[in-house]
Structure formats: C-alpha cells, structure tokens
A and B are shown apart, each in its own frame.
Chain A
Amino acid sequence: MDLNRCEAYAQCAFQAPDVFAMHGEEALMYEPCPGDERREQVMRAAASCPVQAILVEWPGGPAVPEEAGTGARG
C-alpha cells in the first residue's frame, strides 16, 4: 500500500471488507498478506482504488480475479 498516494476514498474497504478497514475517517488499516481466499476481494479493491495505491502480488497468480460476477449463477 502506498499510503502517500492514498486519499482515504475507502473504496478498498467497501470492496474488500475482510482485508481493508477504515480506522477513523481517513486512516486505513489493512492485512498486508491476505490469504488466497481473499484474492478476489483484493483484486476488486486494487482495481477500484481511485489513486491506484494498491500493489498486489500473488504467488504465480493472474493479474485478474477468477470470479467477479454474481454470487448466483442463474
């Protein structure tokens, strides 16, 4: 997380509430090494960051989450 860039839009906390949380109005807390089960959430958060302050690396993983559609499949 580049917290110099971060402007506390909280989009990551909306997208990945298990990984990012606002601590007060503008201070961001996050889990630096979230488990693989959080991958989809983290990819959402990184994509939606208005200032692109989130750098993500997954061991050998693709740059795009596998599943980002709906919970219900028809």
Chain B
Amino acid sequence: MTSATLLRRITDYAARADPYPLYAELRRTPVARQEDGVYAVSTYWEIAGLLHDPRLSSDPRNRVPTAGEEDILEEEQGLPPSFLRLDPPEHDRLRRLATRPFGPPDSLRRVSDMRGDLARMVSGLIDGLRDREQADIVEDFAYPFPVMVICNLLGVPHEDEGRFHVWAEAIVAGLDPGEEGEGPAERLRAAQRARMELGRYLAGLIEDRRRAPGGDMLSALAAGHGDRERMSPLELVVTAVLLLIAGHETTVNLITNGMLTLLRHPDALRRLREEPGLAVPLVEELLRYEPPVQLLPQRTALADIDVGGVTIPRGAPVWLVLASGNRDPRRFPDPDRFDPGRTGNEHLGFGGGIHYCFGAPLARLEAQVALTELARRLVEPRLVEDPPPYRRNPVLRGPRHLPVAFDGCVP
C-alpha cells in the first residue's frame, strides 16, 4: 500500500471507528507526500515543530489551489476568515481582543466561575435519565450540555438552537476533506452559505447586545474595552461565528469519546468513581488518546521547509495529524494504552503554538465535570454497541450516537 492512498483511507468513513492502525502506518513516513500534493505530518516532534514554525500559514489565501478549487476560493468573499484561519499580525490582534472578555489577564475568573453553572447543567441532564434504562449519551447529554454552555457564555438564546444547529452542521461538514457524499467542493460552498446565514443571525444579536448589554461575552465584545483597540463590526461577527461553532462541535466529541473510552476501560471508570480528582489527568489523557480534533488540514508552506528528512515545497498544503502524533511511541511510552494517571502528558490534543485551542480551559472544565458525574451517577453503565456509529467527519471525529444501558442513576 503506498502512502498516496493512506490519507484517503484515513478520511474514508470505513476508518472512522478506529483510524489508529492507519496512523501507525502513516508514521512510518513521518512527512509523507500524498498523490494530490498534500504533505501529511504524523510524528510528534515534527508536528510540534511545525506548530511553532512561522513558515507555515493558516491563511487560506496563501494556498495554491488544487484543480477544481479555484472557483471555491474565489467565492470566499462572503465572510472574511476568523482568527483561526489568519496569520499574525491580524490573528494576534483578533485573538487578543477575543480573549479580553474570556480569560486572563482581563477576565481572570470568567471560566473558573462557570464551574457551579456547569455542575447544575450536568446534574439536570443526568436527572433527566433517572427513569430510563438506556440513553444516547450524544443526544441526551454530550450535545446539549456544551450547547447550553456556549449559549450562556456568548449570550445566544438557547431557544434558537434549532436554527443555528443546521448552520453549524453545514459549517463543520465544510471542514471534511473527504471525497464522500457531495464531495468537498459542494460541502465548502454549503459551509460558506451557512457561515453567512449564521453571521447574519449573530449580527442581529450583537446589535441587540450593543443596545442592551448583559454580562455575556457578546455584550463585552460589542462594547469593546474603553478606547483601546477594538474589533470592527464585521470582525466581531466573524469571531462570534467561530466561537459558537467551536464551542458547539468539539466538546461534544470530547465528552462522548471520554464516555466511550471509560466504558471500554472499566478500571478507569471505577477509579474515577472512587477518586474524582482523577478527572484532571484523565481528561488530559483523553485529549491524547482520543482527541476530538484529529488533524489540522488547512496549513500551507510559505517557504520550502526541511522536516523529517523531506522538503515540503513552498505552496504545498500541509496536514498535521495531531491524533497520530499523540500515539507516537518515540514521545509517549506505550502510546496505545489509555493511562488516566499518565504524567508529563504534553499531548497535541489542543494543537500548539499561536493557534492553541482558544476554548481549551472551558472544554477541559466541561469534560471534567461531565465525566466525573456520569461515572458517579450512572449505575452499571455498559455499551450497547461497540463501536458505536460515528459521524462522517474525519477532522472533528466522534460518535454520532452512543447508546448506553444502565441500571438507573444515583442522586
């Protein structure tokens, strides 16, 4: 089997439940050129190096479009890219502004103060399972919980969930580089349309918050911070779209992958029940072992880059396969073992460098609270189906449903 077809086998839906043997195969060539010109980087040190390499751009405008992509890229005039897909200095400025109402130095306790609310939401959702013998962890818990959290944080009415859910699905599908279904070009167009519509929706909301501010992040972003630098109205909308989608579509996978992993490792589940403090290192191990973002497919080499004995040529698209780096035996002893007490866990689950996951502190907290309580309250939980059915997306990977049977819940 040549490496040319390997990446395609990874994005193929057949590999979704267990891509890890394919990643192991991919790691035999740490930097592997695919037949479509993409360079897949799959080993830990090479990925870590490239995450800190200023010769790698996240801005799609630096891409040399492959055949069939030109028209799509030209059409990308709807909404400008968010900071996720910008380089410095624009990235730095926008991310700094977005951080002000979210984290240190300006908002030191915003996230830690959410702990109580998070615990109440989790309790409420698990209370809802009390009289049942089976639940879908995705639909009944792992999806609604982060959506509630991000809506509260941003100040988006939870009642509108039905509307933006459709847009969110389309936007996330646009990240899927696979060939299945309508194909990447159609998915990208649909994603752009969805971004526009979600942007329009959020622009209205931001206008409301500007007139009648609340304690939420959109109000704070709309108000700006005195007369220091601030976002333009369009930048604000683009950032709001990013935060809503990211808060919406990644934590669900972290929690679901977490529950699935615990159910496959009953010792870890028992330990977590007896020793709730284990949740902290356990979630880090989860981010290594089953990261919700499996790969970063949108970087471009701005110059020839020598890495792993290969020269990635200027203009080439580069995929950083984070989930593979996380299983690199040169970095992690016994990498295919789920070890909730693992120390020195410098995983790539949240990426690294300047694009390190913006919402990481919140995602950690959500997963810690959710998994601790699921472990504590569900009595004798067990998988109904293993592997469960997966979502199609190979980038944001996770089960579509996770049916779990149990013998009731303790209070």
Enumerate chain A interface residues (CB-CB to B < 8 A).
9-11, 13-15, 17, 21-25, 40, 43-44, 47-48, 50-52, 63-72, 74
Chain B contacts for A9, CB-based, 8 A = 356, 360
Output the nearest chain A residue to B348 by Cβ-Cβ distance: A50
Chain B contacts for A65, CB-based, 8 A = 277, 280
Could you jot down 30 A-B contacts, CB within 8 Å? A9-B360, A10-B103, A10-B104, A11-B360, A13-B103, A13-B108, A14-B103, A15-B364, A21-B105, A21-B108, A24-B105, A47-B280, A47-B281, A47-B284, A52-B345, A52-B346, A64-B280, A67-B277, A68-B372, A69-B276, A69-B369, A69-B376, A70-B118, A70-B369, A72-B116, A72-B123, A74-B123, A74-B376, A74-B410, A74-B411
Q: Are B104 and A17 in contact (CB under 8 A)?
A: yes
A66 to chain B minimum Cβ distance, whole angstroms, is 5
Number of CB contacts from chain A to chain B under 8 A: 101
> Which bucket holds chain B's interface residue count?
35 or more
Q: Are B104 and A68 in contact (CB under 8 A)?
A: no
Quick one: which of B78-108 are within 8 Å of A by CB?
96, 103-105, 108
Q: Are A68 and B346 in contact (CB under 8 A)?
A: no
Q: Are A68 and B111 in contact (CB under 8 A)?
A: no
Output the nearest chain A residue to B115 by Cβ-Cβ distance: A71
Residue in A15, A64, A70 whose Cβ sees the most chain B Cβ within 10 Å: A70
Rounded to whole angstroms, the CA-CA distance of A21 and B411 in the bound complex is: 37
Rounded to whole angstroms, the CA-CA distance of A20 and B361 in the bound complex is: 14
Chain A contacts for B280, CB-based, 8 A = 43-44, 47-48, 64-65, 68
Is B373 part of the contact surface with A, judged by Cβ < 8 Å? yes
Rounded to whole angstroms, the CA-CA distance of A70 and B370 in the bound complex is: 8
Contact with A along B339-369 (1 / 0, CB 8 A): 0010111100010100010001100100011
Output the nearest chain A residue to B410 by Cβ-Cβ distance: A74
Residue in B123, B277, B344, B352 whose Cβ sees the most chain A Cβ within 10 Å: B277
Rounded to whole angstroms, the CA-CA distance of A74 and B375 in the bound complex is: 12
CB-CB under 8 A for A69 and B104, given A43-B280, A47-B281, A51-B346: no
Contact of A71 among B105, B119, B364 (CB under 8 A): B119
Q: Are B369 and A14 in contact (CB under 8 A)?
A: no
Contact of B346 among A17, A50, A74 (CB under 8 A): A50
Contact of A69 among B108, B372, B411 (CB under 8 A): B372
A54 to chain B minimum Cβ distance, whole angstroms, is 11
Is B112 part of the contact surface with A, judged by Cβ < 8 Å? yes
A5 to chain B minimum Cβ distance, whole angstroms, is 10
Contact of B361 among A15, A25, A51 (CB under 8 A): A15
Enumerate chain B interface residues (CB-CB to A < 8 A).
96, 103-105, 108-109, 111-112, 115-116, 118-120, 122-123, 275-281, 284, 341, 343-346, 350, 352, 356, 360-361, 364, 368-369, 372-373, 376-377, 410-411
Chain B interface secondary structure, helix, strand, loop or mixed?
A: helix
Contact of A14 among B119, B356, B361, B411 (CB under 8 A): B361
B89 to chain A minimum Cβ distance, whole angstroms, is 13
Q: Are B104 and A13 in contact (CB under 8 A)?
A: yes
Rounded to whole angstroms, the CA-CA distance of A44 and B372 in the bound complex is: 15
Chain B contacts for A70, CB-based, 8 A = 115, 118-119, 122-123, 369, 372-373
B98 to chain A minimum Cβ distance, whole angstroms, is 13
Chain A contacts for B277, CB-based, 8 A = 40, 43, 64-69
Rounded to whole angstroms, the CA-CA distance of A50 and B122 in the bound complex is: 27
Chain B contacts for A64, CB-based, 8 A = 275, 277-278, 280-281, 341
Rounded to whole angstroms, the CA-CA distance of A64 and B329 in the bound complex is: 25
Output the nearest chain A residue to B275 by Cβ-Cβ distance: A64
Chain A contacts for B352, CB-based, 8 A = 50
B142 to chain A minimum Cβ distance, whole angstroms, is 16
Output the nearest chain B residue to A5 by Cβ-Cβ distance: B346
Rounded to whole angstroms, the CA-CA distance of A72 and B118 in the bound complex is: 9
Chain A contacts for B281, CB-based, 8 A = 47, 64
Chain B contacts for A10, CB-based, 8 A = 103-104
B410 to chain A minimum Cβ distance, whole angstroms, is 7
Q: Are A14 and B373 in contact (CB under 8 A)?
A: no
Chain B contacts for A21, CB-based, 8 A = 104-105, 108
Residue in A9, A21, A67, A74 whose Cβ sees the most chain B Cβ within 10 Å: A74
Chain B contacts for A15, CB-based, 8 A = 112, 361, 364
